[in-house]
Structure formats: structure tokens, C-alpha cells
Amino acid sequence: MLENERQGVIWALGAYLVWGVLPIYWKWLGHVPSGEILTSRVIWAFVFTLLFVVLMRSSKLLIVDIRALWKNQKAFWGLFFASALISANWFLYIWAVNNNHLVETSLGYYINPLISVLLGIIFLKERLTTAQKLAVVIAFIGVIVLTISYGRFPWLAIVLAISFAIYGLMKKTIPLDAVRGLTIETLFIVPFALIYYLYLFVTGKAIMFHNDIQTDILLVLTGAATAIPLVLFAKGAQRMPLYMIGFLQYIAPTCMLFLGVIIYGETFNAIDLLSFSLIWLALILFTVSKVMEARTRTKKLKLAKL
């Protein structure tokens, strides 16, 4: 059991590290408009995930999933909306990275778990402990401090956090295998992506095949950059407890923050440090509370079996 969990941590760690350094990849494509990068990402993510499904001999299961979704129209259109939402999130994320907003992007993915908590309270009637309520309040104060510092509301971070949190909530209500689920999600958006690419080629605005071979290869590999960490995460999530996943997810925004400040020279002043410190404190408090909660539940289950 411990060996299985250790392997899960390694898989998940790999996924979060890849997500954390992906901004470097998008920076390499900084000369390509964000809309075309997103279009390539959708098309090639579909191709790569479909190939993975075929290689894993899960084609029949994919067809079964699609038929089951079609029979459940609420789930079908729910997943369609989720696909549109994650596409918008991807676009905003790529635009933010290539327009020097990595620090604010990392803030968005730091507060995302806390937004998810609020959605869970509102829509799933989940309850919070006193420590978890305090964590949400501290994080909220951190966002207010940052808003006053910026002189504007950090809309980019908030929109990234809310869109990803709503996407996660919708995915939770439509249980699907991670890889097959992404294949179906990208299948929904592929027709729109193909139409947009056709428009780019007809109007002579496409970068693909009109720049250099390196750019073409990078655009094609956006699919792999999307699919690989998802596959790693899916393999890891199957082997480790949920609270451990929650703890590891802060690796990605930490990498983004490091890249933004140290590598790409984005500003990070004393007020930013204060705000982020409040959010980090909230996340530590929330995570510790979740770990203790999970351990208490495990002990109760063990006692019940005796």
C-alpha cells in the first residue's frame, strides 16, 4: 500500500512540475497570437489524447462514454459548457503568460482551491471547520490587500481561479476517466478550432507553416504539453489520498511565481509579499485542517472495522 502511494506521489509530482514550468513553453511561442496557440492546443490535444486512448485499447470505452453522455442530455451539455469554460481558461492563461502577468497568474491558481471550497459550500452543501472558515477569511483579506496595492481588482487572477473552479465542479458532477474525458471535451471544441484555423489560413493570418519549422513543431506539441501532465496526474490520483493531491497542487503556482519574479523579472514588492503571505498562510491552515480531518476519518473507519 505504501509503495503504491509512493508511486502515486511521484506521478502527481511529475504532473504538477510540468504544469509549473509550462509558462516557459508558452513564452517560446510568444510571437504567435494567443488565439492561434489555443486553437493548436485544442486540435493537437484531441489528436494526442485520442492516440493515447487507442494505444491503451480504450476505444470501445470512449464510444460507450459518448453514448452514455448523449443519453443523459444534462450531462452532455454540462460537459460541453465545461469544455468551453476550460478553453476560455486556457486562452486567458496563455495570454497572461505571454503578456508578463505570471505573478498574477500564480495568484489565480493559489486561490483556486479556496474558490472551489466556496463553490462546494454553495452547490454541494459542504461544511467547513472553524480552521477552514478562518483560512477563507485570511485569503480574502490577502486579495483585498492586493487590490488596494494594484489600484485595481486583480481580475485576471480571479477569473482564472473562478473559471477553473467552476470547471472542476462541473467535472465532479460528470464522472469520466481523465484521458477519455479530455478527448471528449476537446472533441466538442475541435470543430470551432478547425473553423478558426481555416479563417486564419484564408485571411493569411496563420503563423503555422508561415514562420519556421521550430514554431510549427512547438505548435503541434502543444497537444502533448496538454496531454502528458494530465496522464501523469490521472495515474497519480489513482494511487494516493485526496488530501495529498490537495497539498501537492501548490507546486505549480509556486513554480509560476518563481519563474515570473526570478527568471522573467516581473515586479514583486513588499505589498505583494504581504498579500501572498496571507494567502500562503490560508492555504497552510486549510491544508493542515484537511489532513487532520482525513486522518480522523481514517481512524474512525479503522475503529469501526474492529
d(CA 87, CA 240): 28
**What grid cell was written down for 138?**
485570511
Determine the pLDDT at residue 201.
Answer: 93
In which residue are the cell numbers 505548435 written? 219
Burial class (CB in 10 A: 0-12, 13-18, 19+), 121: middle
Exposure on the CB side of residue 258, measured as CA atoms within 13 A: 11
Determine the pLDDT at residue 192.
Answer: 95
d(CA 261, CA 273): 12
Q: How far is CA 212 from CA 28, 97, 200, 208, in A?
A: 13, 22, 17, 8
Element (H, E) at 163: helix 155-173
Torsion sign (Cα): 187, 188, 191, 192: negative
d(CA 92, CA 38): 9
Determine the pLDDT at residue 93.
Answer: 92
**What grid cell was written down for 8?**
502515486
Determine the pLDDT at residue 2.
Answer: 61
- Per-residue pLDDT tens, the chain, 306 aa: give them: 566 777 777 888 888 899 899 999 999 999 999 999 999 999 999 999 899 889 888 889 999 999 999 999 988 998 899 899 989 999 999 999 999 998 888 888 888 877 877 777 777 776 777 887 888 888 888 878 877 776 777 888 889 988 888 887 887 777 787 788 888 989 999 999 999 999 999 999 999 988 889 999 999 999 999 888 877 877 776 676 655 666 677 888 888 988 998 999 888 888 888 888 888 888 788 778 877 776 777 777 777 666
Determine the pLDDT at residue 269.
Answer: 84
What's the pTM? Answer: 0.82
